[in-house]
Every structure is written in structure tokens, then in C-alpha cells.
Structure 1
């Protein structure tokens, strides 16, 4: 089991708003199934799985990275498709086939050297709760399990695989006052 990460930024009070929490995110971590995808798993006769990803979500991740926010994936399944998508998006912190997401989370924090208060996490089901409880900014897609929604600081209007990731990326960029500058650049201003 990983050691406790170094303390940097102190934890926020329980009364902190979602925007206050998002303003401190230096690392945004995502689950895959039900977050980056709609949660459906398509199996071929050979036992291979296929997943569908939303391009808006991918661009949101790239925008976070463009302002210096690191991104990561922690997922319980092992998939070459996820590895390919992570490479395409420039996500270098990829933890697949993880049975205990908390161990992977603590290892990641230690590797990067930041506190859990500076992390955001988007998950949709019970295996995500252990990490969500520790993050400064716990988020969930609209169609997450009710227990996850109840414990999230912020819930997207979109469903997993249908823009929820992009929504949380936009929320972080707005909270950190970077959204308008990126929009202006996209408009050629």
C-alpha cells in the first residue's frame, strides 16, 4: 500500500462551494466505464470489448492540460482501447485493472507530489467512492448511482459518455478563470 502523500494544500471546509473546490484542482482523475463511456460494454464473439468515446470529452481533457492541469485515469478494467484513448489524449497517468482504486490514488499522489485537496475525481459507481471521499472536488455524471451522486460535490447535467467529462472540465476552467481566455483563442481573438 502506498504511503500517505505529502501535505500541501489544506483540505477545504465541508461548506466550501463546488466552484471553490474546482478552483484548486491541479490533477483531475477519471474513471472510464460510465464516465468517459456510457457504461455499455460491447463484446465480440472472440471476447474482445469495444467502447465508444465522446470527442467533446476528449477536447475538454486537452484544454485542462493546456493550462497545466494534469489528468489521470484509474479504472477497474484492463483495455487496450483505453490505453489507446489515453495516449491519444496525452494522459500519461493511466492505472488499469485496478482492484483497489484507493491504492492507485495514493500511489499517484505520491508520484506527482500533491495533496488530495488539489485533486478532482469523476466516478459513477461504488468502486469510486473511496477516492471521491478524499478528493477536494468529487464529481459524477448525471446517471451515476444514487450513493455516488449523494456524495459528490458537483454533478454534471450530462450522462457518462455523453459530455459529462467535458462539463466538469469546463467547470474547472471557469472556476480557475481560464475558460474565457481559451474561448477567445478558439475564436481567434
Structure 2
């Protein structure tokens, strides 16, 4: 008898650690350079709140990115993201180290990426996600694809998908509305 493949919702229900790329996922992927060589990125505040909700629900979060940026370090600190890895040339190797360090199985890990450098990491995880504007090869290998583009709500959409799958969304919403559960 052949096992039925897991649905995206079943995969999301198992996530204990959610890992994100930065450029094209947490941002729109644009890099704005000044004449002095400094660069800027913009982050979506609703995506940030989604990451906070995941943390409140007990899902650890991590960032693995190929670039190094003080901007990303500051955003990760502000969001209290548990694990930050910058300058990761081999993201899959870093992910394997992260899984060992957190003692989370690959099946209980999710990864959201948008381009080829994310593919090996996505394929390592039990739940692979991509923003709507990800590269077609990434979309083809993702278990779940957002309706929103990277930097424009894709991360929030993903966070809410995980919260719904884990039956935690309603309690968090009720708490935000000031309703105490019995």
C-alpha cells in the first residue's frame, strides 16, 4: 500500500522551527545603494507581526541569508528571532547545523525561500514555502506558495497558514481582541 503524500496543511501543522531567507522573502528583493556604498532594505511590518505571532505560538524562527547586513541583524533583534545566520554561502549546511543545535527534525522544520540558493534547504525540510514571485524552479518544489509577493505580506500569509494548521490562530486573535479563553 502506497502512503498518501502529506498536504501542505499537514506539513505546516508539524512545524516547530520556521526558517526564512531575507532578500525576496522578508523584503521585496530590491537593494537600494547610496553613493557611499551603503544599502537599504525595507521590511513589511505585517510580516514582522506574523513572526511575533509564530513565536507566541511556540514556533521558533530563524533567518539564513547569503548577505551580511547590520540592517538584518537589527530587524532580527527587534523581532526576537531566535537564530540569525548571515553570509551563508551554503545555506543547506547552515540549516543542517541549525537543526542539530535546536534538536528539531527536518520534518518539523519549514523553510521559505525565493531563488536557487534556497532550493537545497527547502528540499531538506518537511515544509517548503515560497512567495508568489519566487523563481519558477522554487515554486515548482514548494509545498505551499503564498498569494502575496516577497516583502508584501508573503511571510504574514505563511505565518497565518501555520497558525491555522496548528489550531492556534483563533486563540491568538481572541487575545488580540481582549477576549480571554476559558
TM-score when normalising by structure 1:
0.92
| 2:63 alignment partner, SS class | strand
Aligned to 1:60: 50
Number of residues of Structure 1 aligned to a counterpart in Structure 2? 177
Residue 81 (structure 1) aligned with residue 81 (structure 2): no
Residue 44 (structure 1) aligned with residue 34 (structure 2): yes
| 1:28 alignment partner, SS class | strand
| 1:73 alignment partner, SS class | strand
Residue 32 (structure 1) aligned with residue 29 (structure 2): no
Q: CA RMSD in A?
A: 0.8
Aligned to 2:178: 188
Deviation at 1:187, TM superposition (A): 1.2
Residue 166 (structure 1) aligned with residue 127 (structure 2): no
- Structure 1's unaligned 5+ residue stretches are 1-12
* Contact 2:25–2:151 under 8 Å retained in 1: yes
Taking a change above 3 Å as real, the CA distance of residues 14 and 156 of structure 1, as seen in their structure-2 partners, is: farther
**Separation of aligned partners in 1, 2:4 and 2:13:** 15
Aligned to 2:110: 120
TM-score when normalising by structure 2:
0.96
* Contact 2:12–2:161 under 8 Å retained in 1: yes
Runs of 4+ in 1 over 4 A off after TM superposition: none
- Structure 2's unaligned 5+ residue stretches are none
**Separation of aligned partners in 2, 1:151 and 1:14:** 18
**Separation of aligned partners in 2, 1:60 and 1:84:** 17
**Separation of aligned partners in 1, 2:4 and 2:61:** 24
Aligned to 1:21: 11
**Separation of aligned partners in 2, 1:14 and 1:152:** 17
| 2:174 alignment partner, SS class | helix
| Residue 132 of structure 1, aligned match among 122, 128, 133 | 122
Aligned to 1:6: none
| 1:133 alignment partner, SS class | helix
Deviation at 1:188, TM superposition (A): 1.3
**Separation of aligned partners in 1, 2:28 and 2:168:** 28
**Separation of aligned partners in 1, 2:138 and 2:82:** 26
